């Protein structure tokens, strides 16, 4: 682990060893493997709820979206957030993006999903009203450049949603091999 002398952010160096280990992890990555394929729960006043439902609740409470909203889920994995959005927002046009295309058919089979992008986000040339990064940014070797690329894909007035682990509340995050950046609210805001 390294700590930036200028801002205090905790990171793992994006050196060849880290990049090679992360690549090896992602080649065989199974989303929610340890939970039998079930999404993590967030404990709310109403009791435990799937993380995607809580994210959508907060998003819809914070912003008014057009009826035909276009949403891109970056790092969509097996489509957990897309499935939740499809149930709650049937008028939205949904898109998924992931580093790999091994879940492509599963994503495209979700009702409301209009497209899927695999590989580098620089290949995405469409614009979106909402771009979601749910537990993705901590994996990215160069998060600022990544966010710049994504904000260029936002429609005027579009919203970028970023959900990351907050390592001071859960120091275990520092041990997760493929988490490069360990954010706090000030670091994420910066």
Contacts of 136 (CB under 8 A, 6+ apart): 74, 75
Q: How many angstroms separate the CA atoms of 71 and 113, rounded?
A: 9
Query: Could you report the per-residue pLDDT of 94-107, keeping only the tens digit for each?
Result: 999 998 888 999 99
Which element (helix H / strand E) includes 24?
Answer: helix 16-27
80-88 vs 51-62: helix axis angle to the nearest 10? 50
Query: Could you report the per-residue pLDDT of 43-100, keeping only the tens digit for each?
Result: 888 888 988 999 999 999 999 898 899 999 999 988 999 999 999 999 999 999 998 8
Taking the CB of residue 150, how many other CB atoms lie within 10 A of it?
21
Res 88: pLDDT: 94
DSSP at 33: G
Query: Could you report the per-residue pLDDT of 102-155, keeping only the tens digit for each?
Result: 899 999 999 999 999 999 999 999 999 999 999 999 988 889 999 999 999 999
């Amino acid at each position: 682990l390294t700590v930036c002398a200028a801002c205090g952010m905790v990171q793992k160096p994006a050196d060849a060893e880290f990049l090679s280990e992360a690549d090896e992890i992602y080649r065989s990555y199974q989303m929610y493997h340890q939970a039998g394929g079930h999404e993590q729960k967030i404990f709310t006043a109403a009791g435990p709820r799937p993380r995607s439902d809580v994210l959508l609740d907060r998003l819809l409470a914070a912003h008014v979206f057009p009826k035909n909203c276009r949403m891109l889920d970056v790092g969509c994995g097996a489509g957990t957030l897309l499935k939740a959005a499809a149930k709650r927002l049937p008028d939205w046009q949904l898109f998924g993006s992931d580093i790999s295309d091994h879940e492509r058919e599963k994503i495209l089979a979700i009702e409301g999903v209009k497209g899927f992008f695999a590989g580098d986000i620089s290949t995405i040339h469409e614009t979106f009203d909402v771009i979601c990064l749910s537990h993705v940014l901590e994996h990215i070797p160069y998060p600022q450049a990544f966010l710049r690329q994504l904000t260029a894909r936002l429609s005027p007035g579009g919203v970028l949603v970023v959900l990351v682990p907050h390592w001071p509340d859960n120091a275990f995050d520092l041990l997760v091999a493929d988490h490069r950046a360990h954010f706090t609210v000030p670091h994420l805001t910066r």
